[in-house]
Structure 1
Amino acid sequence: MNAEIDREDGGEADAETETESAAETAADAEVDVDPDADADTDALDEGEWADARHLLYDMVSTPSVSGDEEAAAEVLKAFFEAHDREVWIDEIGNVRAPADDAVLLTSHIDTVPGDVPVKIEDGVLWGRGSVDATGPLCSMAAAAVETGVSFVGVVGEETSSRGAWHLVEDREEPDAVVNGEPSGWDGVTLGYRGFLSGTYISTSELGHSSRPEENAIQSAVAWWSRVADFFDEERDGVFDTVTTKPVTFDGGPTDDGLAVEATVDVQFRVPPRLSIDDVREVAESELTRGGVHWNKPIPPVMMSPRTDVARAFRVAIRNVGGVKPRLLRKTGTSDMNIFAGTWDCPMATYGPGDSDLDHAPNEHLDLEEFDSAIDVLVDVCERLADD
């Protein structure tokens, strides 16, 4: 896998499939807290989950861009210590609070860059990470201390997912997993497309431009056109299609002037109806010159709506709000893909917030929705622990 996963899927969503938003903004060294928002912090003390609201505000107010999660991890660790839970920060930076492995609640600590001033207006918290995914993370922390289930806050989800990869290599498989990403309090995500990236490299002998032979640059362009054409098929919705994207292209004479070289960094989003190997084999079969160096892939995942976890969410959402649960599939990729690729247990992804606000300059979360998500998670954890 590339050092960074491209998050540029489209923004439309419906009751079945949601696409990943990617309106990223420039990084600032510190989180900007709106000085005029103090009067509205009284909203943090309202309701049953005031302690969790304060954690959420403190976490959103603490910079946690990928690679710089240490300060936020300490805030999260202190929350568990205050509730007499065993907790530590592991060698990769994950916050680990093991307990009842009937359920593992896990979400990511890191955020993308971007200055969204932290403020509360009319019961709504504004700030980077409020939706993706500090809101889901803090709702899970509250549910974990309330019910006594296991919890991990992972690092690096927005880049290499190093926290999730370390987790599946370092701990035993739990009975069930709930991954934290925004689905809306009344929705639960069961599927994500996989992710495959690589670098195509081709070299040809340097010759006069009047020669008819194809050079390395032409070979690269032709190869990618064939691959993209192969996957350009009619499907019902983005989720079931293979999305192909060239992300960088470089070509020209080598430094010694004896050859022409072309390199193309490419990315594929892979639906659950196909495997990573299926897509890789197609790409390699279209090669006439050069080769592809593949990065570590992330497999697609599609969980059944009939698992114990999915059933627990359907019941809990009805219990909390009296509404019909929304079962979602998302066109992007999350840490649930990594967990599902290693652990053979039921899982789903859940969290408060509108995923259209992921990475957006107006990222914000309604505090009442945050409370409702905690209620749902507590119901789910108690139901699964009883089972």
Structure 2
Amino acid sequence: MNAEIDREDGGEAEAETETESVAESQSQSETTPDAEVDAGVTPDADADTDALDEGEWVDARHLLYDMVSTPSVSGDEEAAAEVLKAFFEAHDREVWIDEVGNVRVPADDAVLLTSHIDTVPGDVPVKIEDGVLWGRGSVDATGPLCSMAAAAVETGVSFVGVVGEETSSRGAWHLVEDREEPDAVVNGEPSGWDGVTLGYRGFLSGTYIATSELGHSSRPEENAIQSAVAWWSRVADFFDEERDGVFDTVTTKPVTFDGGPTDDGLAVEATVDVQFRVPPRLSIDDVREVAEGELTRGGVHWNKPIPPVMMSPRTDVARAFRVAIRNVGGVKPRLLRKTGTSDMNIFAGTWDCPMATYGPGDSDLDHAPNEHLDLAEFDSAIDVLVDVCERLADD
């Protein structure tokens, strides 16, 4: 899930994957990406691959193992895309890879299943122990991706594996520009097999730039560096408010700060790269207006924003998940909202159709060095997705 990064330039920023119950609005989790490890994948020769041949969804388990064993860091998804494409070809589905690298599987548009192919860097040795698959992407989001691929084959609905979600979301942006709106969307990210995510905060980033005349340090006038510090302090103070849960709060973060004399020695320049997480109670414009209203010098160059999203629990998609989760496991479904950002934000900002985000796995393990997925949970998620797709196709 791309909650952890600068969505415009791909630079790493804060980790923010807190999950809140829609019913209780209570914070559940927060993780920090393992940014120091390499991007390789190391399959374990002694892995208990016999577990792949257990249960109803044998082909899906093998796809999951093959995909997790194939490096797919953002920007280098080609090999994994070919593995995914071959899975659909083996099941006689029309499939192609589009110009940005998305794996496209057109069919019944009663529901579009979509998740991301790419992962963050990190060498988590691929192994299976006691029915649990370890490896980078097993949770975020190769597990959700492969569960959706299996459900798409089983039910005949549309599927897209998108690229670049962990950086610029280039796959999702291309998709909303290149195809018509489906009747419903299920986006793939870990929610746990018995949970469904209905909301995400939005994302706004930009660069503040100010210059001032270079003068002696004894002069009382504020220089560009002081202006930058003062501006950001005012903005952060404005959004420093007490609310119930992080989800309803605007999170403000300075990412980089740089300042000093210009190359010609005639001026002082200051730049600050800033990020905002925007709750659905506000719009991107609301936050931008506050930030610009606090300017006394300089200006802000804004990057392409990602709007917040909060879907009603009463949509056809949400209802289908509630029924399916009860049918599969006999448990009460968990309705979630997350403090980060996902491709569902992009889909909801363009397509006027019901949608939700779903997938097996514990989002606390997103980007973690111990990322792993229980194969029994993976199977249960496929059962839920098949039930959901059949219900939506029958409506």
Q: Is the 8 A contact 1:139 1:373 kept in 2?
A: yes
* Structure 2 residue aligned with 1:257: 265
Q: Is the 8 A contact 2:17 2:364 kept in 1?
A: no
- What's the CA shift for 1:16? 15
Deviations 1:272-317 (A, max 9, x none): 0000000000000000000000000000000000000000000000
- What's the CA shift for 1:3? 13
CA RMSD of aligned residues (A): 4.3
SS of residue paired to 1:103: strand
Query: Cα distance 1:176–1:19, how it changes in 2: closer, same or farther (>3 A)?
Result: same
| Structure-1 separation of matches of 2:343 and 2:111 | 16
SS of residue paired to 1:132: coil
Indicate yes or no: 2:8 matched with 1:34.
Answer: no
- What's the CA shift for 1:7? 8.8
SS of residue paired to 1:273: coil
- What's the CA shift for 1:112? 0.2
Q: Is the 8 A contact 1:108 1:153 kept in 2?
A: yes
Calculate the TM-score normalised by the size of structure 2: 0.92
- What's the CA shift for 1:176? 0.1
Query: Cα distance 1:259–1:21, how it changes in 2: closer, same or farther (>3 A)?
Result: farther
Q: Is the 8 A contact 1:100 1:149 kept in 2?
A: yes
Q: Is the 8 A contact 1:8 1:20 kept in 2?
A: no
- What's the CA shift for 1:6? 3.8
Query: Cα distance 1:265–1:234, how it changes in 2: closer, same or farther (>3 A)?
Result: same
SS of residue paired to 1:20: strand
- What's the CA shift for 1:2? 12
SS of residue paired to 1:131: coil
Q: Is the 8 A contact 2:20 2:337 kept in 1?
A: no
Deviations 1:323-366 (A, max 9, x none): 00000000000000000000000000000000000000000000
Structure 2, gaps ≥5 residues long? 24-29
Deviations 1:358-384 (A, max 9, x none): 000000000000000000000000000
- What's the CA shift for 1:147? 0.1
Query: Cα distance 1:7–1:123, how it changes in 2: closer, same or farther (>3 A)?
Result: farther
Indicate yes or no: 2:64 matched with 1:56.
Answer: yes
Deviations 1:164-210 (A, max 9, x none): 00000000000000000000000000000000000000000000000
Deviations 1:80-113 (A, max 9, x none): 0000000000000000001000000000000000
| Structure-1 separation of matches of 2:298 and 2:261 | 16
Deviations 1:23-55 (A, max 9, x none): 999999999966655351000000100000000
Deviations 1:205-253 (A, max 9, x none): 0000000000000000000000000000010000000000000000000
* Structure 1 residue aligned with 2:119: 111
> Larger deviation: 365-374 or 11-20?
11-20
> Larger deviation: 277-286 or 37-46?
37-46
Q: Is the 8 A contact 2:3 2:342 kept in 1?
A: no
Query: Cα distance 1:348–1:286, how it changes in 2: closer, same or farther (>3 A)?
Result: same
- What's the CA shift for 1:20? 10
* Structure 2 residue aligned with 1:321: 329
Query: Cα distance 1:238–1:31, how it changes in 2: closer, same or farther (>3 A)?
Result: closer
Q: Is the 8 A contact 2:163 2:171 kept in 1?
A: yes
Query: Cα distance 1:274–1:9, how it changes in 2: closer, same or farther (>3 A)?
Result: farther
- What's the CA shift for 1:78? 0.2
SS of residue paired to 1:249: strand
* Structure 2 residue aligned with 1:191: 199
Q: Is the 8 A contact 1:12 1:19 kept in 2?
A: no
Q: Is the 8 A contact 1:103 1:178 kept in 2?
A: yes
SS of residue paired to 1:35: coil
| Structure-2 separation of matches of 1:323 and 1:339 | 29
SS of residue paired to 2:210: strand
| Structure-1 separation of matches of 2:163 and 2:148 | 15
| Structure-1 separation of matches of 2:322 and 2:63 | 27
Q: Is the 8 A contact 1:312 1:380 kept in 2?
A: yes
| Structure-2 separation of matches of 1:142 and 1:380 | 13
SS of residue paired to 1:37: coil
Structure 1, gaps ≥5 residues long? none
Query: Cα distance 1:103–1:14, how it changes in 2: closer, same or farther (>3 A)?
Result: farther
Query: Cα distance 1:380–1:96, how it changes in 2: closer, same or farther (>3 A)?
Result: same
What is the identity percentage for the equivalent residue pairs of Structure 1 and Structure 2?
97
Q: Is the 8 A contact 1:104 1:177 kept in 2?
A: yes
Q: Is the 8 A contact 2:16 2:340 kept in 1?
A: no
Indicate yes or no: 2:127 matched with 1:123.
Answer: no
Q: Is the 8 A contact 1:80 1:145 kept in 2?
A: yes
| Structure-1 separation of matches of 2:118 and 2:15 | 27
Q: Is the 8 A contact 2:204 2:303 kept in 1?
A: yes
* Structure 1 residue aligned with 2:99: 91
Query: Cα distance 1:70–1:245, how it changes in 2: closer, same or farther (>3 A)?
Result: same
| Structure-1 separation of matches of 2:11 and 2:223 | 38
* Structure 2 residue aligned with 1:242: 250
| Structure-2 separation of matches of 1:332 and 1:61 | 27
Query: Cα distance 1:36–1:227, how it changes in 2: closer, same or farther (>3 A)?
Result: closer
Q: Is the 8 A contact 1:64 1:71 kept in 2?
A: yes
